[in-house]
Amino acid sequence: MKGKKKLAVLFMAAFLALSLGVFAACANEEHSLSYVEEVQATCTEAGHRAYYLCSHCGKLFADENAETELSDEDVTIAALGHDMTHHEAVEATCTEAGNIEYWSCSRCNLNFSDEAGTKEVASVTLPAGHDIEWVNAVEPTVSAEGMLAHYECSKCNTCYEDVDGKEEIDREDLVLAQLVEQAVTVTVEVHDTAGNKVESPDFAAISGELSLLGAYSANQYTGLAVASNGTLELDSIIVGEYTVELYGYRRSTFTVTVRAIK
């Protein structure tokens, strides 16, 4: 009987010793553990491995029985840092987009304007597109070609009918040919405002009042003198179509070609 009592006392003593060891580790209370899942580290933020946390003493453990204690250093996963790739600037064209110079991170898939990754950029794209401007007409002269008015892209020099750049025009179709001059002699006939031919007009009275008006400022001829026999001689006139104006008489037209007057 005494032997049984002695064994019971020893058992209780051992149990109390173990219990006191656990309680002492948690300020005389049993650990209250909760599982904390692993958090992956990012380029800029540290993560941590999975562990158990005691809500009483705040200690970290590797197991649910609180047998292996861990330090903050044991569970901390350091920030990874950016894994940068450099991209050279590419100039945008009228039909293809370009990009600014930038660095991209293969881990977080973000783009930055600096290699250190401190300045994030929302977009690196330089959009494609024409820079369309209005071009005024240029009249031809006897020394140079002219050009019809049109829209033109200052980047690619493509010509368009519209400001939106949808209707392209061949530049050759816009060219106005260089003007050609030649000497001509023409017999002048005049008609009244009703269209009737005036017989034996008084050319002396109307001399200096005849005008030949061409399409350009270079071929406007005014104050022309008609000889008494009704001839008009010009040492130099630009080839082309003209409106004939003579005050008090019917307006008419004629064309000067490289060969003759129609």
Residue 210 maps to which CATH number?
A: 2.60.40
Q: With a cut of 50, which residues of the chain have pLDDT below it?
A: 1-24, 260-262
Q: Is the dihedral of CA 200, 203, 205, 209 positive or negative?
A: positive
In a domain, 64, yes or no: yes
Q: Are residues 185 and 231 in the same domain?
A: yes
Q: Are residues 110 and 54 in the same domain?
A: no
In a domain, 5, yes or no: no
Q: Are residues 72 and 87 in the same domain?
A: no
In a domain, 239, yes or no: yes
In a domain, 261, yes or no: no
User: What's the pLDDT at 208?
Assistant: 82
Structurally, the chain folds into a number of domains equal to 4
pTM of whole model > 0.85?
no
Measured CA to CA, the distance from residue 59 to residue 33 in angstroms comes to 9
User: What's the pLDDT at 25?
Assistant: 53
In a domain, 13, yes or no: no
What b/e string do you get for 136-159 counting C-beta neighbours within 10 Å, with b at 16 or more? eeeebbeeeebbeebbbbebeebb
User: What's the pLDDT at 259?
Assistant: 59
Q: Are residues 150 and 104 in the same domain?
A: no
In a domain, 100, yes or no: yes
Which range of residues forms the domain containing residue 67? 26-81
Q: Are residues 249 and 185 in the same domain?
A: yes
In a domain, 120, yes or no: yes
Q: Are residues 170 and 207 in the same domain?
A: no
Q: Are residues 107 and 137 in the same domain?
A: no
Q: Are residues 145 and 206 in the same domain?
A: no
Neighbour tally for 199: CB within 10 Å: 7
DSSP string, 198-256: PSS--HHHHTT-EEEE-SSGGGEEEEE---TTSEEEEEEEESEEEEEEETTS--EEEEE
Q: Are residues 185 and 238 in the same domain?
A: yes
Q: Tokens in use for 5? A: 């009592």
In a domain, 202, yes or no: yes
DSSP string, the chain: -HHHHHHHHHHHHHHHHHHHHHHHHTTTS---EEEE--B---SSS-EE--EEEETTT--EESSTTS-SEE-HHHHEE------EEEE--B---SSS-EE-SEEEETTT--EESSTTS-SB-S--EE-----EEEE--B---SSS-EE--EEEETTT--EESSTTS-SEE-GGGGEEPPP-EEEEEEE---B-TTSPBPSS--HHHHTT-EEEE-SSGGGEEEEE---TTSEEEEEEEESEEEEEEETTS--EEEEE-SS-B-
Last residue of a domain, one of 176, 205, 237: 176
User: What's the pLDDT at 145?
Assistant: 95
